[in-house]
Amino acid sequence: MQKRRLPGARGIALSIALATGLAALPVFAQDKPFKIGLILPMTGQQATTGRQIEAAAKLYMAQNGDTVAGRKVQLLVRDDTSLPDMTRRLAQELVVNDKVNVLAGMGITPSALATAPLATQSKTPLVVMSAATSSITEASPYVVRTSFTLPQVSVPLADWASGNGIKKVVTLVSDYGPGIDAEKYFSQRLSANGGQVTEALRVPLRSPDFAPFLQKVRDAKPDALFVFVPSGASAAVMKQFLERGLGKAGIRLIATGDVTEDDQLNAMGDGALGVVTSHHYSAAHPSPLNKQFVQAFEQANKGLRPNFMAVGGYDGMRVIYEALKTTRGVGDGDALLAAMKGQVFESPRGPVSIDAQTRDIVQNVYLRKVERVDGQLYNVEFDVIEGVKDPGKSR
Ligand code: VNL
């Protein structure tokens, strides 16, 4: 006699799944972890950017739990050493082999631009937490940005300069996307205000030697020197500005906040006192949320002060977590992207939103001055321009 076998529990579950068709798919999706591929420069010239963003992402997860809408959230951190070919290769591996749901990070503009086509092809949201050239959001409809753009912060600084007796300016920027954006938007605005950029100097991104450029500035004797260099190069430019005695020669240093970043500011010493910058984040931002953020970040990282990179990473995680919640843990790339667009929330930097059309961040831009507070150097905010959209968009 042949024995008939009763279906086991597994067989029953499978039959139900098959019988109910598509409706059963979410059950399977929810069993799988939700993977975030976080590609950052963890070594090399931009290593501080990687360290700040990774620490902030981990803090966000520690504070908000690693299970969201029934999915276990996994952070897969990869080091691209700031080489765009490496970023692209790592992103490919994360999408194809690890099947990540979201790509994130992107320390520098070339890394973001190298990864954007892959985000488009694979329909994977790419949350840009650092890179800040205006055009990055236009490189793929899957890019969402939580950092800032150089036009966003350079225009308000030009207005401040014009309002404070600065007419002739020499600009000094790193010779790539964000530097060219900073130079262009600062210079255009200063001219519109009746001022003038008398010389536009560009230094190489990798291993820059600022000395010959600063000598030129000294000889040109402008009212001010406007500087943009990316996070990681800031301490070197500040040191050489001070060593060459430009300040003593009556040339004022004004810069985007990348130059007086919180991570390096204390090490720059008293020479940095009085430097006016414009940016979207200061560790000294006087809101209760920011005080909590700074305290928790320092506590979790042996006293390391968060800089603007950390806040880009922290808010990027918020955007991802909320999208996962809105899509109840079962959304594909397109659904996640749709849930990222239009988010409005309070960040440690102040109120922000993700523009639903451009996918770029809208935020306050602050004018700040380096001051000593409780024995430490900080960027102390003294003015704010609220709700600034990226002026670089071609819309
Ligand atoms: C970029 C812009 C990178 C601003 C930065 O630091 C920065 C970029 C690494 O777009 O490459 O401070």
Atom of ligand 1 at shortest distance to CA of 82?
9
Please check the confidence at residue 375 and state whether its pLDDT lies above 50: yes
Please check the confidence at residue 1 and state whether its pLDDT lies above 60: no
Mean pLDDT of the chain: 93
Please check the confidence at residue 362 and state whether its pLDDT lies above 80: yes
Backbone angles phi, psi at 220, to 5 degrees: -75, -20
Q: Are both 169 and 259 inside the same structural domain?
A: yes
209 C-alpha vs ligand 1 centroid, how far in Å?
Answer: 18
CATH, residue 94: 3.40.50.2300
Q: Are both 323 and 227 inside the same structural domain?
A: no
**Of 152, 231, 264, 265, best ligand 1 pocket probe by most atoms within 8 Å of the beta carbon:** 231
What's the confidence (pLDDT) of residue 275?
97
In total, how many domains does the chain have? 2
Q: Ligand 1 site: residues with CB under 6 angstroms?
A: 46, 49, 107-109, 130-133, 177-178, 230-232, 258
As a whole number, mean pLDDT of residues 359-385 equals 98
212 part of a folded domain: yes
3-state helix, strand, coil in the chain (%, to 5): 45, 25, 35
Please check the confidence at residue 18 and state whether its pLDDT lies above 90: no
Domain extent at residue 269: 151-279+367-393
The half-sphere exposure of 342 on its side-chain side, counting CA atoms within 13 A, is 7
Which residues face 200 on adjacent strands?
Answer: 171
Tell the residue nearest (CA) to atom 4 of ligand 1.
Answer: 230
Question: From CA 187, how far away is CA 196, in angstroms rounded?
Answer: 7
pLDDT digits 0-9 by tens, 181-206: 999 999 999 999 999 999 999 999 98
266 C-alpha vs ligand 1 centroid, how far in Å?
Answer: 20
Q: Are both 229 and 320 inside the same structural domain?
A: no
171 part of a folded domain: yes
Residue 294: CB partners within 8 Å, gap ≥ 6? Answer: 283, 305, 306, 348
Q: Are both 243 and 381 inside the same structural domain?
A: yes
98 C-alpha vs ligand 1 centroid, how far in Å?
Answer: 27
The predicted model scores a pTM of: 0.93
SS3 192: helix
What's the confidence (pLDDT) of residue 9?
46
Q: Are both 144 and 157 inside the same structural domain?
A: no
Residue 28 pLDDT level (bands cut at 50, 70, 90):
low
Q: Are both 144 and 259 inside the same structural domain?
A: no
pLDDT digits 0-9 by tens, 85-127: 999 999 999 999 999 999 999 999 999 999 999 999 999 999 9
Please check the confidence at residue 50 and state whether its pLDDT lies above 50: yes
Kind and range of the H or E run holding 63:
helix 47-64
236 C-alpha vs ligand 1 centroid, how far in Å?
Answer: 15
Q: Are both 182 and 84 inside the same structural domain?
A: no
162 part of a folded domain: yes
